[in-house]
Amino acid sequence: MLASPRCGARTRSDRSCRAPAVHGKLRCRMHGGAAGSGAPRGNRNARKHGLFTKKGIAGKKQVRDLLDEARRLLRELT
């Protein structure tokens, strides 16, 4: 097993993955060597929470504007 080729993926700590590559592939089973692995087409998972909809972005802007106004008022009072 130590002589088998290693996965070519990089980990979050920017080190090489030390798992053995799947036979005939360049990646291990956790980094895309297994059949059917990987994210779904179109990445539907990124849109589940609604934070990046027009309504969500407008709501975050409104909260940010209210906080800016509150900070400005506090600076004027002190």
| Phi-psi map region of 12: left, alpha, beta (phi>0 left; psi -120 to 50 alpha) | alpha
pLDDT tens track for 32-72: 777 766 666 666 666 667 777 888 889 999 999 999 999 99
pLDDT of residue 68: 97
* Number of neighbouring beta carbons within 10 Å of residue 77: 6
| Confidence (pLDDT) at 54 | 87
Contact by Cβ (8 Å): 19, 28: yes
Supply the pLDDT for residue 64. 97
Q: Which tens digits make up the pLDDT trace of 3-21?
A: 889 988 888 888 889 999 8
